Amino acid sequence: MSTTTVGKPIPKSGAPAHRTRVYNDIFEMLPDVDNPSPMVRINRLNPVKSFQLFAKLEWLNPLGSVKDRAAWQMIRDLEERGELGDGRGIVEPTSGNTGISLAALAGARGYSTRAVVPNKVPKEKKILLKIFGAELDVVNDALCPAPGLGDGSINLAKTHAKAARDKYVMPNQYENQKNVEAHLKTTGPEIWKQTEGEVTHVFTSLGTCGTVTGLSRYLKKKDANIRIYAVQPTEGHDVPGLRNISQLEASKLFDPSLIDEILEIDYELAYTRAMELCQKEGLMAGPSSGLIFEGATRVLQNEREGCGVMIFCDNIFKYASNMALHLKDLGEGLEPR
């Protein structure tokens, strides 16, 4: 945002250089501080106009989610350690987004991917995984896989990796420090630069916790007063990628000392707030973005001034069938009368 300070509208003539960039390959398109995912101001739905609220649009990453960042760092690390190639590909447990990023990026490098997914993952994500070339194992497991369950997706992926070492290596996003590093090196610095150091609040969600741990570690070093909020769905939720508070200990990357407050929010609001963002801001926000937005608006009730950034992890397209389950009207009137 070299043309403006955060508080002022961006002049139409001041388009950032990357909008005119031509890329050599998909890897150059991955986000970093020189090519950040865009931030857009919330306007009609901002409940406190004196508080600047921005959404960071991770669905504009090349494979459509925040997970491009972790997937790329993990693949690069495996390549550097000579773990990929010569017929050896990736096996990974995933609630969809990591698997899609891994499959696409690995495919563009010439490696195969096997994705182990919980059955409750939306059909759209399962099909997308196959479109990007992943072999699919569907198991009965919690939506955000947890370690330790005998027949869970993490254990099945581990079993594949052990049984066929020549065929598979498992990045393991739930324990891999490269997942944290991705956000320490990219998401954190991007937010700092895009807000010109004015950021006061960050709102994110928790799955593997790579996003929150990495960006918080970076931003709190820059300014210890920046407040980091994590927004979680209530128990029994079906928001893919997220954990309820009771499941958090399962994430090895979870570091509560880096989070100022965890807000637990009725998961139905993930869907209604996502639709509101679509209809009133023109933002194609997915359910985890809806949940984060609800959390941010609650925090704003007690704030008058500040600069908040919400991490909007992915878009609504992968959740159309889930949306219709939660918002009954959406499923009606779709056939000729």
Ligand X SMILES: Cc1ncc(COP(=O)(O)O)c(C=O)c1O
| Binding positions for ligand X, rule: CB under 6 A | 66-67, 95, 97-98, 205-211, 241-242, 286, 288, 313-314
> CB-wise, 97 or 247, nearer to ligand X?
97
| Distance between CA atoms of residues 47 and 89, nearest Å | 48
Strands (E), 3-120: 39-41, 51-57, 89-93, 113-118
Which of 66, 157 has the CB closer to ligand X? 66
Number of helices (H), then strands (E), in the chain: 10, 10
Least CB distance from residue 13 to ligand X, whole Å?
A: 35
Is 288 annotated in the active site? Answer: yes
> Which candidate in 37, 56, 65, 67 is catalytic?
67
- The least CB distance from residue 58 to ligand X, in Å, is 8
Least Cβ distance, residue 218 to ligand X (angstroms) = 14
Residue nearest to ligand X (CB): 241
> What letter represents residue 111's amino acid?
Y
The C-alpha atoms of residue 148 and residue 134 are separated, in whole angstroms, by 24
- Closer residue to ligand X in complex, CB, 276/314: 314
Residue pair 316/284 in contact by the 8 Å Cβ criterion: yes
Q: Which residue has the tokens 């504009």?
A: 60
Task: For residue 39, list its beta bridge partners.
Answer: 56
| 125 is annotated as an active-site residue | no
The residue (of 89 and 207) whose beta carbon lies closer to ligand X is 207
Element (H, E) at 277: helix 268-281
113 burial type by CB count under 10 A (0-12 exposed, 13-18 middle, 19+ buried):
buried
Return the number of the residue (6 or 65) whose C-beta is nearest ligand X.
Answer: 65
Distance in Å, CB of 251 to ligand X, minimum = 7
Q: Give the rounded distance of the alpha carbon of 89 from its chain centre.
A: 23
Active site residue: 37, 251, 288, 289, which one? 288
> Which residues are annotated as catalytic?
67, 288
